[in-house]
Structure formats: structure tokens, C-alpha cells
Chains A and B, each alone.
Chain A
């Protein structure tokens, strides 16, 4: 029953400025890349319909401003997120260090029901560049320390690993979503049970024996 239902998955992309959040989203949704840098102001979202394990899901991907001065508005959209993507630039150690801050801030503002097991996905972007400064090992170690977060090395420019990364994001988000759905379906089931039990009891009353 639930498998045929359309599902909306809310994905939030976070990370320092100019690590490639918008580029990753554009590469995934529109298959386009531009070398021109334009700072995102405020927040915006794109939607994409994808098939995950025989289910049609709509991904609502929220792209956010990395620059602090463009974060003047609220982040109510963190609430009800199904997955959070933490992006850093493999050529910028600073952006890697900031991941802790982004993760903490997200957990505080989104306040998910189970913060320890909330699906984060970490992306080390710009692997096409030569001047790499954050090693794969270092990144993986950090991910391990946070309950084993999935880690991908991507290039939004060359479309390396973008598709695979978002597939994992969608799958993990869906897992989170179905958990919520289960909770949502519970009251319905109780109602149905209550109804049927009522019928039964009334039937029982009517029954002569």
C-alpha cells in the first residue's frame, strides 16, 4: 500500500561558501555546470522525481547560502528534513573543519527525533582539482567518528560520483521517511481496528448465541 504512494523527501545541502553546493544540485537536477561563481542568497529549492527501489519519490533539494552574511533569514525548512548533505571542498581544509559546526547547527535547528542516527551524507567536492588538501583518509575518519556516515568524493564539474551520491541520499532519506510513515500510519490502523472490533462486538451482541 505504502509503496504506491508518492513520497516527498526533503534534503538539505549545507557547507561553507563556494564549496559547490549549488553546483552539485544543478549537476544532479539539471545536468548543467557553470564555472561562474554566484553566491547563493537566502535559500532555494529544486525538485526532482526519482525511482528508488521501485518507488517514485520526489526529492525537494534545499540549497542554502554558505556565506554568513547571506544567512539573514530563518531555517525553518530544516524541520522535517529527511536527509542532510554536508559538503566540503577537498582543496580547502577550512571548509572541512566547518563540517562539525554545520552538523551541530543542523541538529539543533532541525531537532530530529533521533539525532544520533539521523541520515547525514558527506561529500568531498572538487576532486577534479590538483591542489588537494584534505586526504580521503582524514575525511573517512571523521565520518567514522560520527556513527559511520556515508562519504563520497565528487566533482560537480565533471559529474563524478554525483549520481551515486544522490542515489544514496535518496535511499537514506527514504529509510528515514518510511520510519516516520510507520508512525503516521499507526493511528489509522488503531482506528480501523477500533472500528472493526466495534463491529465485531456489536455483531457479538446481535448474535443470538
Chain B
């Protein structure tokens, strides 16, 4: 009898342990998206070692990928869209705060050299946005998207126009270069060419009021609306010109929620037939390798995966067909003890608000 009681008493913890085990086991059956919430920065060791240096942003933090390793550069804040000056000695990047964004000139270690714009204001309505910085090939002029002038009617919104200012100048010297289609969000992604020509992306609507994106060429300063290089229904954007200026990579959606990564020959005034390199994914931010033989871009892995950095060798023009890029970076989270984990981390941001930039290695 006593033995039975002892056995029963011993059995109770076993039951408790078994019940707890079932509870914990059910927790392990959670799907991957629930279990692996991406709270930590996830830049980690790349799978490929590429020549040169690539600047990327993840979660508002600037990273430099060089010699097969990432190193964080720059101070705290919500950084995005880094771009290099043509001499590869400086970066221009966007720093967002809650209500506005500004452009900063940085050295290659991310230290602020100069604040280029001042768009913040204590009065909400007087805040401005500046995005998509690009420096002209001669290094003298900074192009960017800016939400000015503000609408003068009652609609509390604004559209981005392409503006330019001397890189070594001041914001009061800035001039508006394009006239956007109002209430579409406006013009983005300026890509200055040699001379005064400019590629950019305009948003506009068709007769059915569907919004489209279109890559346009502004040949002369003063032509406030450029000549379209892509069809309205192709919905192309994010142009990236090859180092020799003969090929234009772009993202096209055709009005769908999936995209194509395309490359088309460019002769300075028009585009030739585009080749589809990738189709059916959420591709973003294509950037050419210094030798013009490959493209880096962002895309999620799988239907419900996170955005990752990919690398794709661009086939010779005669080779047609849809390819597949190589994953450049594993997406394992940083270890909890990693000094990069959590530092300057102020909530998740659109992770694909990024622009990889590739530069040649210094000799």
C-alpha cells in the first residue's frame, strides 16, 4: 500500500513532465515565419568572395562587404540608398528620421563629411523628403528626388521631382529638373549620364487610372518631362547602367506583384530589345559588377522568405532564357552575443529599401 502511494506520488511529477513536454513539443511545430521573427540584423558571412567592395544597407545600418567579410560603417540612424561618387572616395546616403529624410556625404568608413540637405522642421507640414542620391559622372552634381514644391491646393500630399545641386554647394542652389505627374508619388531613381542627360523613373496613370512606372530620358536640362524609353504597360523601374554605359538593367512588373529582371542595350538615346534574366520574383535594386559581367540584386528566398542578397552572372546577349541567381549571403541571424546585434536597432524597416553598390578594388 505504501509502495503504491510512493509510486503514485512519484508518478505525479512524471505526468507533469510529460504534459509539459507535450506543451513544449507543440511549440516546436510552429511554422518557420512564427519561430524566426527577424528582429536581429542578419548580415552574415557571404558564400562568395567577390572582388571589389559592395555597400549595402540592412535595417537602416550601413555595411561594407569587402574581402569576403561584412563590416558595419556609419553612425546610428536609419540609413539607406548609399551611392558612390565617381572617384570612389565618398558615399552619399539618405538618413531618415520620423518625418523627413536628408542626404549626407560620407567617407568610405561611414563618417559624416557633410550634411547636404536640411529637410526637417518642427512643423510637420514643412518637412521634406530627399531620396535616391546619385552623383553625375564628372562628380560635380548631385541628383536626387525631392518632394518640392508642395501642393498648393488642399490635398495634403506631395510628389517627388528630380532635383540637382552642386555636390560641393548648398541646398539653396538646387534646381528642379523634372515635372512629375501629380498625385502619383512622382519621379524617382535619377541616373545622370555624361553631359546633362538624365535617366529617371516617372510614375503616371493610363486612361483606366492604373498607375505605371516608366524609365525616361531627359536629354537636355529644361525638358521637364523626358522621353519614354520603356512602355507604359511594362512598368519598368530601378534602372542600373552598366559601367561601360551600353546596357541598362531594370526591374519590370507589367502591373503584377511579381517582377522581371531585364537587361536591354542602351545607345545613349534609346533601348534595344530587353532580355529577361529572371522572372516571377520580387527582385530589387540591381547593381552591376565593375566589369559589367554580373548583377547583384535583392530578392526573397521562396514565397515567404526574407530578402537576401543575390549575385547573377549576366549571360552574353545571344543567350536567351530565364536564369537563376546565386545566393550571396546566408541569412542566419547574428549570434546574440555579436556586438552588431541590436546596436542602433530601432525597429524593423523595409529591408529592401537598399541599394547595393559595387566598386572596383583599389589597385
**A pairs with B:** no
